[in-house]
Amino acid sequence: MDKSQVKWLYISVGFSLAVLVVILILTINENTLSYLTKINPWFLLLAFLTHLLTMCFWAMRVKTMSGSLGYRVGFWYSLNLVFANLLASAITPAQAGGEPVRVHELYKANIPLGDATAVVIMERVLDGIALAGLAAFAMIFLTDQWKSLGSISEIMVFITWIFVVGCLFLFYLAIRRPDVVKRVVARCTVWLTRKWENSRVEALQNRADKEIDNFQGATIKFVHTAKWGLVLGMIFTLLYWVSEIVTASLILMGLGQPPLFLESFVIQLILAILMMIPLTPGSSGIAEVGATTMYALFIPASVVGIFVVLWRIVLYYFNIALGILSSIIIVRREARNSLNEKT
């Protein structure tokens, strides 16, 4: 990690810790100790293992979608790729930093940049479709749970649908009108490389045009000849989100609380949508406050702060630890490859 990334990591973690401390101060009371005596560590361990299973579903999505385009990417390589993505996601708004990391690692696995970009963008599209579908399912079959959260739930659903429509429009534009995308990229390139030599700018634009063509070709391949990659990708996407949602219920059970499967299903969907809005690095603060506000409607105030702390440890701080471990593995791999090239 460079100094800039370390700085943003400190900012993200620091902001999250500050918010968690405030939440604990506001929620801990004389009843908290009695709730802590009811903690079941096995459910908390199961929450960590379920979160790891979630990452495995993500890795399988990367593996199968890459395989449907004709590229062989191993499961363990895909899993390490996902872990590396987690660290970048933790320090960027809307977790957007993870996409370039995944593209880079797929490129290192001998997948052309355009095809790697197609896989990663298609992942985002599948996430949006899955969230919209799960939200629609919840609105139809979990009406009481939606109503118990007030008008914010409806707002989040509309935001999800807008997000999905936007993704599908950009997806359509990249396939049907690559010339428009090329013009936009060319203008951005000229603006960002004003001090470069003309030959370097031209070479970069030619490379960008080539990769846009590769992306279009890979996307068309997904739709026409690699449909099984999209089907399996959607299956693993749904498994990913369901597993991630269940993790919160396991933490509740670890604290001696009812699992609130249906309520958690709705709340975690809303939080997932909120965390896609680019407001703070790694959605620090937003996730903590949102979870506290909504879960306080269903569990005692004296335990809600502890729950949110454990929830963020499993889904945020654990991610950072996995990301750092993955980064070390990648650095050692690159150093080894560089040494082999010299010899």
pLDDT score for 343: 65
Q: Which residue has the higher pLDDT, 113 or 43?
A: 43
For residue 216, what are the contacts with CB-CB under 8 A and spacing of at least 6? 114, 174, 175, 178
pLDDT score for 160: 61
Report the C-alpha gap between 22 and 16 in whole angstroms: 10
pLDDT score for 339: 75
| Range 250-277 average pLDDT | 86
Quote the mean pLDDT of the chain.
83
Task: Please tell me the least confidently modeled range out of 2-16, 227-241, 321-335.
Answer: 2-16
For residue 325, what are the contacts with CB-CB under 8 A and spacing of at least 6? 83
pLDDT score for 96: 60
Residue 65 sits in which domain range? 3-342
Report the C-alpha gap between 242 and 236 in whole angstroms: 10
Report the C-alpha gap between 164 and 3 in whole angstroms: 35
Report the C-alpha gap between 343 and 12 in whole angstroms: 41
pLDDT band at 150 (very low <50, low <70, confident <90, very high): low
Question: pTM for this structure?
Answer: 0.83
Is the Cβ–Cβ distance between 128 and 160 less than 8 Å? yes
| Range 126-141 average pLDDT | 78
pLDDT of 164 strictly over 70: no
pLDDT score for 235: 95
pLDDT band at 4 (very low <50, low <70, confident <90, very high): low
User: First-to-last CA distance in the chain?
Assistant: 27
pLDDT score for 60: 97
| Range 148-171 average pLDDT | 67
pLDDT score for 223: 76
| Range 40-68 average pLDDT | 95
Q: Which residue has the higher pLDDT, 203 or 262?
A: 262
Strand partners, 155: none
pLDDT band at 286 (very low <50, low <70, confident <90, very high): confident
For residue 24, what are the contacts with CB-CB under 8 A and spacing of at least 6? 305, 306, 309
Report the C-alpha gap between 254 and 51 in whole angstroms: 15
Q: What is the pLDDT of residues 85-128, one digit of tens each?
A: 988 888 776 566 678 889 889 999 999 888 888 888 888 888 87
Task: Please tell me the least confidently modeled range out of 19-23, 127-131, 136-140, 170-174.
Answer: 170-174
pLDDT above 70 as % of the chain: 85
pLDDT score for 154: 66
Q: Which residue has the higher pLDDT, 193 or 81?
A: 81
| Range 230-254 average pLDDT | 93
Number of domains composing the chain? 1
pLDDT band at 1 (very low <50, low <70, confident <90, very high): low
For residue 315, what are the contacts with CB-CB under 8 A and spacing of at least 6? 51, 244, 247
pLDDT score for 13: 84
pLDDT band at 153 (very low <50, low <70, confident <90, very high): low
Is the Cβ–Cβ distance between 265 and 145 less than 8 Å? yes
Q: What is the pLDDT of residues 168-207, one digit of tens each?
A: 676 677 777 778 777 877 777 667 666 667 777 677 777 7
pLDDT score for 88: 83
